[in-house]
């Protein structure tokens, strides 16, 4: 655990700094291109989701150079892609066959955890590192979401997703669970593990080829 913390410490602190800056920017009404206030963040340019491939590559390189690379990088990348395909298939099926945002939310979040589990099997050391980073990166967002909902901040943290109009009549804590805790601990950690593994295996493979040249 101490080795993992030593590896993820600075990425966690950088991620926290970006989260704080995002909160300040949204509350101050700064540029919507950088600080989107619509549900989901509106693909704003400043956000912690964009950090995942960079830190995934960093973790992959560090672990590979420390002798903790998988037996087959290609197989590790393949498992990450398989996890992504399984999640995409499950999400497409539930959206097509059912209605109701709660069912959709549950399946989307559960499928991303399954995707992470599949992906992490290809490179367990990197999977554990990304999962630890993901938890420490996302717990502060849950706290911010709770404060935003309770304080009615008007940020993307307390915005109601357009596909979940029923949450407009929900209580504050129900909204915090459905739009904060659930996606941050499931969907976004799954995203972190899967995308981070793809970036990490690619970085390790390129580094191996460079060293062999």
Q: What would the DSSP string read from start to end of 94-133?
A: HHHH---HHHHHHHHHHHHHHHHHHHHTTSHHHHHHHHHH
d(CA 184, CA 181): 5
Predicted confidence (pLDDT) per residue in 97-108, tens digit? 888 888 989 999
Question: In the structure encoding, which two tokens stand for residue 5, read together?
Answer: 């913390």
Cβ 7 vs Cβ 61: under 8 Å: no
For the chain, the straight-line distance linking the first and the last C-alpha, in angstroms and rounded, comes to: 34
Query: How high is the pLDDT of residue 110?
Result: 96
Query: How high is the pLDDT of residue 99?
Result: 81
Question: In the structure encoding, which two tokens stand for residue 41, read together?
Answer: 């963040």
Band of pLDDT at residue 2, cut at 50, 70 and 90: confident
Q: How far is CA 29 from CA 24, 26, 177, 193, in A?
A: 9, 5, 26, 32
Give the domain extent around 23. Answer: 2-212
Q: Is the pLDDT of residue 112 over 80?
A: yes
Query: How high is the pLDDT of residue 202?
Result: 95
Query: How high is the pLDDT of residue 55?
Result: 98
Beta strands in the chain (DSSP E): none
Residues 6+ apart with CB under 8 A from 121: 79, 127
Q: Is the pLDDT of residue 213 over 70?
A: no
Neighbours of 101 (CB within 10 A): 16
More confident residue, 30 or 213: 30
Mean confidence (pLDDT) of the chain? 93
d(CA 64, CA 200): 9
Predicted confidence (pLDDT) per residue in 122-176, tens digit? 999 999 999 999 999 999 999 999 999 999 999 999 998 887 777 878 899 999 9
Q: Residue 189's closest CA among 124, 114, 79?
A: 114
> What's the structural domain count of the chain?
1
């Amino acid at each position: 655990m101490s080795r993992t913390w030593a590896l993820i410490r600075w990425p966690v602190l950088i991620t926290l700094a970006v989260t704080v800056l995002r909160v300040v920017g949204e509350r101050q009404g700064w540029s919507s291109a950088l600080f989107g206030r619509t549900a989901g963040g509106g693909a704003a340019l400043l956000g912690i989701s964009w950090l995942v491939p960079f830190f995934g590559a960093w973790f992959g390189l560090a672990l590979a150079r420390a002798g903790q690379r998988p037996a087959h990088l290609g197989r590790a990348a393949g498992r990450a892609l398989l996890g992504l395909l399984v999640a995409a298939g499950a999400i497409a099926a539930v959206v097509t066959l059912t209605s109701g945002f709660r069912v959709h939310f549950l399946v989307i979040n559960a499928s991303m955890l399954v995707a992470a589990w599949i992906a992490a099997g290809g490179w367990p050391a990197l999977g554990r590192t990304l999962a630890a980073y993901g938890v420490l990166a996302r717990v502060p967002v849950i706290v911010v979401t709770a404060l935003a909902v309770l304080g009615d901040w008007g940020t993307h943290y307390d915005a109601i997703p357009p596909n979940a109009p029923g949450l407009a009549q929900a209580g504050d804590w129900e909204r915090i669970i459905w739009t904060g805790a659930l996606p941050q601990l499931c969907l976004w950690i799954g995203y972190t593990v899967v995308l981070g593994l793809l970036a990490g295996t690619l970085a390790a493979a390129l580094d191996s080829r460079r060293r062999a040249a």
